[in-house]
């Protein structure tokens, strides 16, 4: 036998077998039955309750494999609200306000609108660093939830400087499409929140948390819990907007109540600007030596 013969596959690839099944199968009562479909092509079968563990595995594997193939070694994850408007869209909130509560909301949204630009700037800074390891894999690739507002700003900042950027969308009862700035081949869609949150952190080397609601709090506090309990190594966790965070969460009182320790207050840093946040990341990893 030749060397070529030894290296050749003896079985057809699944893709080839699927083509055979499509092109060569005659139509009979037996072949038209659902039971005759190849299991991996039978979506009705894959969506059965009993197949949930398989779907978990597929949702873990697909992004992992594609990010590996795209040479993404690490990410800068940017969390934040899907509701904060860009500065040029704030006036519409005031125009539509009909009572004092809505005017208060509009005023506070105006305060937070600056963070759209800060998220965009931070993504520009990270994406312009062009940090690669010796294998050519890329670091601090910007990753967001792929939606509007702060997430859009993050992906937009990376696009501004011609860099790839990741979006991790989730299927929701209402429409949630990827924003236009996500790199198409790095745009992922999840069914399971748990798997989406896992992919946020598998490659994360820094996380910026902008003002947000339930989803942002969920992601932020899970990250704090993982670092606090030693499940993952510490990393820069940067909270944008000291006034917002101190108004909505009293971290000092949590510590004084005894439910967290004083050292837990050091798990994150408050920042106001993209430059401050990037400086924290640079200092944490001593990135000056990577130039």
- Our measurement of the distance from residue 118's CA atom to the centroid of its chain's CA atoms, rounded to an integer in Å, reads 18
Asked: is 71-290 a CATH 3.30.2010.10 domain? The reply is no
**Interatomic CA distance for residues 78 and 41, integer angstroms:** 36
Residue 178, classified by CB atoms within 10 Å of its CB into exposed (0-12), middle (13-18) or buried (19+), is buried
Measured at the CA of 59, the angle between CA 219 and CA 22, to 5 degrees, comes to: 155
Residue ranges covered by each domain of the chain? 71-290
Please give the model's pTM, rounded to 2 decimal places. Answer: 0.90
240 to each of 46, 115, 200, 266, how far by Cα in Å? 42, 8, 18, 15
Segment 75-119, tens digit of pLDDT: 999 999 999 988 888 888 777 888 989 889 988 999 999 999 999
106 to each of 81, 97, 197, 247, 274, how far by Cα in Å? 15, 7, 30, 17, 24
What confidence category does residue 6 fall into, taking pLDDT thresholds of 50, 70 and 90? low
Strand partners, 238: 208, 269
Segment 108-165, tens digit of pLDDT: 999 999 999 999 999 999 999 999 998 999 999 999 999 999 999 999 999 999 999 9
Both tokens of 191, joined, read 């069914």
């Amino acid at each position: 036998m030749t060397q070529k013969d030894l290296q050749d596959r003896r079985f057809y690839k699944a893709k080839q077998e699927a083509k055979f099944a499509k092109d060569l199968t005659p139509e009979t009562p037996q072949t038209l039955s659902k039971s005759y479909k190849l299991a991996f092509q039978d979506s009705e079968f894959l969506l059965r309750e009993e197949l949930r563990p398989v779907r978990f595995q597929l949702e873990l594997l697909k992004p992992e494999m594609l990010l590996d193939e795209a040479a993404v070694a690490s990410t800068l994850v940017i969390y934040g609200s899907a509701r904060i408007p860009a500065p040029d869209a704030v006036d519409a909130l005031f125009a539509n306000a009909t009572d004092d509560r809505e005017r208060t909301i509009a005023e506070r949204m105006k305060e937070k609108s600056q963070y759209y630009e800060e998220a965009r700037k931070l993504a520009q800074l990270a994406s312009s660093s062009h940090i690669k390891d010796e294998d050519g894999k890329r670091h601090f690739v910007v990753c967001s939830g792929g939606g509007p507002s702060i997430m859009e700003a993050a992906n937009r900042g990376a696009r501004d400087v011609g860099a790839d950027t990741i979006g991790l969308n989730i299927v929701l009862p209402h429409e949630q499409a990827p924003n236009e700035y996500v790199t198409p081949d790095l745009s992922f869609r999840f069914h399971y929140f748990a798997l989406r949150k896992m992919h946020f952190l598998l490659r994360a080397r820094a996380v910026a948390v902008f003002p947000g609601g339930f989803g942002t709090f969920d992601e932020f506090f899970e990250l704090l819990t993982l670092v606090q309990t030693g499940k993952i190594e510490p990393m820069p966790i940067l909270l944008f907007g000291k006034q917002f965070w101190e108004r909505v969460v009293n971290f000092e009182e949590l510590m004084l109540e005894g439910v967290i320790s004083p050292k837990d207050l050091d798990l994150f840093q408050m920042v106001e600007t993209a430059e401050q946040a990037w400086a924290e990341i640079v200092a944490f990893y001593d990135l000056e030596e990577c130039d």
